[in-house]
Structure 1
Amino acid sequence: MLVNTEAIVISALKYGEADLIVKAYTLESGVRTYMLRGVLKSKKGKFKASLFQLLTQLEIVASHKDKGTLEYLKEAKVLHTYQSLHTNFIKTSMVMFLAEVLKNAIKEEEANPHLYQYLKISLNWLDLHNSIANFHLLFLLKLSRYLGFHPDDSQTNLPYFNLLDGVFQEIKTNQYCIEGENLIILRQFLDLGFNDSSNLKLNQNSRNSFLNMLIFYYELHIEGFRKPKSLAVLNEIFS
């Protein structure tokens, strides 16, 4: 089936000497993986490798077999040109982390337009702003809503948050119940938008601890989710 759709690149892996395997999250068909032959060596080919930088927003025409196999990409062009996402060192490090999270977290080969629009709006915000030290924390928290395990925020006044069940509660019922500083930070982030995220001042230890808690939250709720390898780099940058 021939599909014309928007797509966000979430990984690009070199295969052999000249080929590229690109995984993208598409507006029309969810996660799809494409084999691009010769793209790394051909100067006159249809595609340039620069098209497939992490989190690039593309408009593509592709042939989808819908069989869980590698798909065929017929056309691709940049839909939105970033101003700083691929040139600012801090942002490129964050892009690596976010792309790795998305690769691990999103598996479905089906459309989810609300999730796609969230990714698109969030990336455009990151591209245009400089106070971004808390962006990845709020991004992960908000992303959990579209993945189906956002914290129930109806009783945030309660003294514990149960990571396993995703609820605030009166008493500690298992080893996954958190309290203390991470609970306080969670309450604060639940009330924030990206424009306000920089108003929350966190030191290195607090930011790293809360991020590790969010990663663990993802591990509890997404089968096969792995701690991103780029996590250490991100922690170092915002130290």
Structure 2
Amino acid sequence: MKTSVVFLFLVLGAFWAPLGFAQPAREVPVGDFRKLTLQGNLRVELTGGDQAQVQVFGTPAELDEVTVSASGKELTLKTNYTDGLFEKDQANRRRPIRVLITYVALTGLHTGRGAEVRFQSVVTADDLAVEVHSGSRLKMDVQATSLRLEVGEGGQANVSGRATVQKTTVSTGGELNAEDLESEVVNIRANTGAVAQVSASKSIDASAGTGGSIRYRGRPAKRAINTTLGGSVNQL
């Protein structure tokens, strides 16, 4: 378990190294949005502001491969993964396209297909839903009354801040480090090799199965713990 947590910190830290090359930028006009979907070979940094804005950095060919679409209050950015298009680093890995996004307010975030996402500012919301799937990676700081988290399919998330009520599902090799996310009430499920760390001050309802592992910090007065098929729940 300790190995998995250390690995998560190292991998998340490596994402945000400077790209080290000059790139042209394309500013994409967008309307106000509340939900955001990010998928593909993207390295995304987000910050709060007074007006929504999207800037994409890359070679001309790479810029053409980024699709930006909107439906109602939901904004989607994704790459098309054209073979041979993306330049590679010294380790023969595709170099991600850098994206800077300014948002006014967020109620939902979905990441997938290996996207790397980091927030530069605290996300404040009454009700916030976050999904991290398909090998994507997320680092964020939140202040929320209610937070719903889903991490799965090899996704990795590092979430800090405060959420009064937290409802979390981690599955299929997902990794969640939310030890520094202060929550009063936590409901968490982990299965199929998933790994999670959380913090609860008043109550925790934790269930782990099929090799899933949950570790929690705090001394909540109410505890409901259930483990099956090699799952484990332990107090830090």
Smaller-chain TM-score range?
under 0.3
Structure possessing the higher relative contact order (Cα contacts under 8 Å, 6 or more residues apart):
1
TM-score (norm 2): 0.23
With the length of structure 1 as denominator, give the TM-score of the two structures.
0.23
Q: Give the number of the structure whose alpha-carbon radius of gyration is greater.
A: 1
